[in-house]
Structure 1
Amino acid sequence: MPLNFTFALGQQQTFELRCDYGLRRLDKAELAALIDLCEQNYYAQQRDHLPYLTQLGRKLYQWLDGNEGWLRKALNEADEQTINLDLIQTSEAQGLNPETERVALGLAHLPWELLDDGSGFLIERQNLSVLPVRSVQQRQTQVIGVQNRPLRLLFMATSPEDPRVPPLGFEREEANILQATKDQPLALIVEESGSVAELANLVKSYTEDYFDVFHLTGHGIIYTKKDYGSLVPKSTTLADNTPCFITEDEVGNMQLTTVSDLAKAFRGRWPRVTLLSGCHTGQVANKGTVPSMAQALVKAGAGIVLGWARPVYDRTGIVAAQALYQALATGATVEAAVKAAQQKMIDEECTDWHLLRMYRDTRPINQLVTALRTRNRERLTFTAPEQEFLDENNQVKVASRFEFVGRRRPLQRCLKALQETSDQIGVFIAGMGGLGKSTLAARLCTRVQMQRSNFARVVLIGPLDEIGLLNKLSNKYERFADVPALLNEPKVSLKGRLQNFFTAIENVHNQPLLLVLDDFEQNIPIANIENGSLRMTAEAYEILGAICAALVDNSAESRLIITCRYLNSDTLPPHRLHLERLEQMSRSDIDKICFPLDKEVREQLKTQRIIYIADGNPRLLMWLLEVIQQPGIAADELLNRLEATEQKFREDILAQTLLDALELEEQKFLARLSVFNLPVTEEIVRAISSTSHPNAWDSKSQANSESPLKRTEDLGLGISSGLSVFYLWVKTVEADASICG
């Protein structure tokens, strides 16, 4: 059982503390002084230095322990190290005199996470850490029990385009959650728009109790008319000190969202746990007199809500989220998961670890889901699409779910076109090489299939022909005997066969298709590129027209994604495709790419010059960042040449610089490999390397550190040794091998 301490209101507006050992009356003046001390030394001045925290924690401990030593006794006897602070009566205080009401509400304002018994913070105890939990709402309704399946997480990031809102590294937060749970995978459903209206639509699309956790990441604020009044419509009245979350409207502008707005979005269908990953979301505002957003959400129907009591470092929020979901995904209780998050923040030396607040109602919620190897546990069916996006050398050319950065607005627009309710049948993504068209397409596949797990996926790269298309579709649905037969039915036009195909996979088998035509520029003859007409081949035009017509005529749920360097809408067959032109990446997204580099490395690599030279092209930027660190590269000379050159020639200069950095024997080795137009086995590469450099290979390692193969790989002229074959890609500067974005 947890340690239960109940704060109650007695007669004549007095306060009482109740526990299993008895009852004692609390001194209102002493309580008010303690709240004022915390306001001055913890909230207003935001002191995170250890002496201040320790001093404050000792005062809180001594006050709660009292002369009777209740806390000491309870900690010695308890078999579960959770302190349940029952604040239900005091949080509902109304009609009291102002001073009494301020003290009553301020009890939730006290930083109980700092409780210190003189030998250290209770939350750091070596045997069992002690977690304070604020109970603020009485409820008797039942909640669903442990579910024998993976954890289901609804993730929503808000990042409006407004100079007043700092850029948000939400991609890194999502990626770290996925990385932390890779051994106990969770089902991650992402609401990409950042809009509460779209969140409401998504919640309505799933059954009640579908989601276990709602994770909202962004910026929380305490509203004042002076600072944020211009953001509120004139028809809306918002009182000062109202906790709000900064979200987006339908076009990415800033919007303030209140507890009431979030409650309307969920309409009583709350996940069992809500994490508000934003500043001030756990803070009792206006010197402890206005309930926090987390507390108010519990009052509005949420079961357990986590928030932050003050501004928190991005790194701290990410560390906490990683540990929390890693624990929840393995079947830990909610309290155990929060303890794990607290301990991880302490271990990682996050000085603001104590800011995480846990509010809840009285309904018992233990585990959310079972562990991975539980008998008859539901399995995840999602497979990442990255391995299907290959260049001409069979190299994966897109960013993984862990590496993706930016492209928020294009992603939002394209996802709207891919929705079931959209009048459009898909998207056509255009842009120069290196801007990330294929990566965006892969990201769209991930997002669609996360939300609609019944979707099948087929990716065709390069030249489009009827036999290749039909074979690919037949192979994907070969377990259904009728589907290949429909696709290859004689005397029926291609459009007719595709219509029958979409009817079968959607209406009979409930497996609609997400069809991706990648590198579609390979269907445009070089002559038509040079003369600017951009007309595709007759065969490609006919096939694309048949696909579009079949999707439109069937009002199909299936969707089409096309990536192409060139876009002339006049050359496309009749269609209902959303046309998305990719531009250079924004500066904030470029900063995210560079973020993993520490500050010293950034300065050493002359990052600002590199960013200017890359000019928003993520592929070129990543190549530069890797190459400029290699020994033997004259960095200043290379950057000077690149700065004076048009972008279309920059990659050629970079490639030439890399080649010049090779020794004569290494150049000869590379020249020998260049005769191969197809992938070759590693044994052949070894033989060539041994011929030019007899000591290149030894019995303990595949590649000696001084071998030509190792040297060319280090300079970006080879592919990683993690694959069983070696590919030469000196000439892939013309391929759309996007790394990020």
Structure 2
Amino acid sequence: MQQYTLELFRKDDSRFELRVLDGTWLTFPLIEQAEIDALLVLAAQDYRVNAPDLEQRGQDLFNWIDRHSNGWLRRVRQMQQPMTLVLDVREAGLRHLPWELLHDGVKFLCADPFQWFTPLRRVTPAERKHDWQPQKRQLGVLFMASSPEDVQPVLDFEAEESGILQATARKPLDLQVEESGSLQGLEERLTERADSPDVIHFSGHADIDKASGQPVFLLEDEVGRCAPATPQALAKTLRDANSAPRVVFLSGCRTGESSQQDGMLSFSEQVVTAGVPVVLGWALPVGDVAASQAAAALYDKLATGFGIAEAVALARQALLENHSPYWHLLRCYVDGSALNPLVAKGRQPIRRHNTPQQFLDAGGRVPVCARTAFIGRRRLLQRSLRCLRAWQGDEAYAEGILLHGMGGLGKSSTAARLIDRLRNSHEAVVCYGGLDETALVAALGKALPKAQSLLNDAQQTLEQRLRELFEPEDNPLCAKPLLLVFDDFEQNIPLERRKLGQADYHPASLAVLHTVLQAIHDSQSDTRVIVTSRFAVPVPRPCRARAACIARTRKPCTLPT
């Protein structure tokens, strides 16, 4: 896309010079402050999603630029080429104007399906730039949803994750999810990574705090209550984690809204000022469906190797094609960096994390739903992950968790999602059904070929071998802590007892499970255990396995037929 820059340079207390960068800087006659104030009232006052005069506002903006630039904007449009208009918003209130509504009298510029157009709001000096080159790999996106228990309405953020996955099913995108919904959880995940994600996507409620008049994103604390986060707190989290994403998408209401009355900068603009090159937000409250559609279209294009400006333009067009009234609310703030593609064009290897297949290989008959169909369990995932990631001595710590409840309610699917969420930090080993020492050693040996000799050492007890295998420091046999999943553990109850609803587990099976938990406890390892069963499972002290009873939800997990 051809890029042009428009700015108003203050000449004195009451006049501005309009400048346009079109190869070289073009300058035009001075504009009085009163004319700019009139434009602000005309175009920005009472701006709302379904205002009846959106076309007229857009034409007023177009005609104002065209008149003060001696017809420059109309001449550029007649060249019939995709274009990006960078607006320096540091002066004269340009940040408040809905530039997405620019209308040439025939159509909205953003609505042209061939001559793509997108406005970008530059909020820092032009010389402050980041330089990056497209990478020959998958697009890396870290997705964090927040929906505090004490904030209504509950957001359908799982549909947003599902929409992104479906839109990019055949595209090179690696979408990882941070379930905590908190800045602390975000910092921990970013610190775990060897590199920064290309994009961090926040999905949740956002607002303007009435007391301070400042924008906040409604994140969560460690128990799921509302913990409003400021732009400064988010920027500090990124700095403390030594993470430098190229793009942050603040998919929450009013994250792109600034205030003309008190000079408040939008959440998005403040994050750019703090050092993120590109930040997207919404100017007004936005619907869940529109937010999901825009995100899916954006990441579809970014993963294919489109530049950022092109991807934003096409995301907005996706909303227009779906007749969404929110299409003009998407705002893009930049720092002046060249908006090169994040990943290179061309066929990139698509690395799939096929967690359900691990379960099917283990048992051959266990239906586990795909990520795109798994909905309605976020709070369970959140609490389970808090436990599985805790250190010994933490209040939430346990050697493992037990997912129990009736069949067909998603215990195995929940375990699969937990494996997926922990894939960066843990190596998963799935043991299906009947369990004894031979079955455990075989499963571990298959996953860890280097540990075969240790696992088959008859001179040591099972607990001694496991303690050595779980050793957390400089372990040559096991590069990462294990996540041991004992799926369908009720198979270790004799059938006749199971039919009577009696949880009489075979003593040998319980002994193996208890040995694993004790070895984790004694070695102080980060290895953890997940058990799925229709019945509760006894665990002797000092070990703990936090229990979570899975019942039917308003939106149950959908299993494939």
TM (norm. structure 1) is 0.69
Bigger Rg over Cα:
1
Kindly state the Cα deviation for residue 390 of structure 1 after the two structures are TM-superposed. Answer: 4.8
Structure 1 residue 437 and structure 2 residue 406: aligned? no
Report how far residue 279 of structure 1 moved: 0.9
Which has the higher relative contact order, 1 or 2, with Cα contacts under 8 A spaced 6 or more apart?
2
1:47 — aligned with what? 50
2:411 equivalent to 1:464: no
User: Which has more helix, going by share of residues?
Assistant: 1
Pair 1:405 & 2:375 matched: yes
- Cα 1:192–1:81 shift into 2, 3 Å: same
Q: What residue in structure 2 maps to residue 357 of structure 1?
A: 331
Say whether residues 1:216 and 2:206 are aligned partners.
no
Answer yes or no: is the 8 Å Cα contact 2:120–2:332 preserved in 1.
Answer: yes
Question: Residue 30 of structure 1: CA displacement?
Answer: 2.7
* Alpha-carbon distance change, 9 to 295 in structure 1, aligned in 2, over 3 angstroms: same
Distance 1:61 1:392 in 2: 63
Contact 1:145 / 1:365 at 8 angstroms: preserved in 2? no
Query: Take 2:111 and 2:253, find their aligned partners in 1: how far apart are those partners?
Result: 23
Which residue in 1 is equivalent to 2:94? 107
Amino acid aligned to 1:33 = A
Give a deviation string over 1:333-367, Cα, whole Å, max 9, x none.
11111111011111111121111011110122311
CA contact (8 A) 1:414 1:578 kept: no
5 Å-filtered alignment, 1:92-491, equals 104=92, 106-138=93-125, 139-140=127-128, 142-162=130-150, 164-207=151-194, 210-225=196-211, 239-240=212-213, 242-267=214-239, 269-285=243-259, 287=261, 289-371=263-345, 373=347, 381-390=351-360, 394-419=364-389, 421-422=391-392, 423-449=397-423, 451-452=424-425, 455-478=426-449, 480=450, 483-491=451-459
Check the 8 A contact 1:274/1:305 in 2, yes or no: yes
Q: How big is each residue's C-alpha offset from its partner over 1:249-301, in whole Å with a ceiling of 9 and x where there is no partner?
A: 11111121111111121127331101010111111135583211111111122
The answer to whether the 8 Å contact 2:196/2:243 transfers is: no
- 1:36 and 2:5 equivalent? no
Q: Distance in 2 between matches of 1:577 and 1:152?
A: 35
1:548-587, Cα deviation, whole Å (9 max, x unpaired): 122223322322111122225xx3244633412225355x
Match of 1:228 in 2: none
Which residue type is aligned with residue 487 of structure 2? D
Shift of the 33–504 alpha-carbon distance from structure 1 to 2, 3 Å rule, reads closer
Give 1:26 shift: 2.0
Matched, 1:7 2:8: yes
Partners of 2:276 and 2:104 lie apart in 1 by 33
Q: Please, which runs of 5 or more residues in structure 2 have no aligned partner?
A: none
What is the root-mean-square deviation of aligned Cα atoms in Å?
2.7
Distance in 1 of aligned mates of 2:114 and 2:385: 48
Contact 2:55 2:101 survives alignment (8 Å): yes
> Distance between the aligned counterparts of 1:494 and 1:393, measured in 2?
24
Alignment check: 8 A CA contact 2:198 2:246 kept:
yes
Structure 1 pair 357–389 and aligned structure 2 pair: CA distance change class (3 A) = same
**Matched residue SS, 1:285:** coil
Counterpart in the other structure of 1:501: 469
Distance 1:457 1:135 in 2: 45
User: CA offsets, 1:488-547, max 9 Å, x none?
Assistant: 122322222323333499711514322110111222335766888734212102211221
Three-state SS of the structure 2 residue aligned to 1:108 is: helix
1:660 maps to which residue?
none
Task: Tell me how far apart the structure 1 counterparts of residues 154 and 355 of structure 2 sit (CA, whole Å).
Answer: 28
1:26 aligns with 2:31: yes
Structure 2 Cα separation of the partners of residues 578 and 468 of structure 1: 21
Query: Aligned ranges for residues 497-536 of structure 1 at < 5 Å?
Result: 497-503=465-471, 507-509=475-477, 510-525=479-494, 534-536=503-505
Partner in structure 2 of residue 75 of structure 1: 77
Letter in 2 for 1:386: P
Alignment counterpart, residue 581 of structure 1, candidates 529, 532, 548: 548
Please tell me whether the aligned partners of residues 151 and 328 of structure 1 are also in contact (alpha carbons under 8 angstroms).
Answer: yes
Greater strand fraction, Structure 1 or Structure 2? 2
Structure 1 residue matching 2:45: 3-state secondary structure:
helix
In the superposition, relative to structure 1, how do residues 61 and 155 fare at CA in structure 2: closer, same or farther (>3 Å)?
Answer: same
**Structure 1 partner of 2:89:** 87
Q: How does 1:546-557 map to 2 (within 5 A)?
A: 546-557=515-526
Distance 2:432 2:510 in 1: 16
* C-alpha deviation, 1:155, in angstroms: 0.9
Equivalences, count: 547
Deviations 1:355-390 (A, max 9, x none): 10111101223111124525xxxx565522113335
What amino acid is aligned across from residue 7 of structure 2 in structure 1? T
Distance of 1:286 and 1:565 partners within structure 2: 59
Between the aligned residues of both structures, percent identity stands at 38
Which letter does structure 2 place at the counterpart of 1:70? Answer: W
1:562 to 519, 526, 531: 531
**SS of residue paired to 1:214:** strand
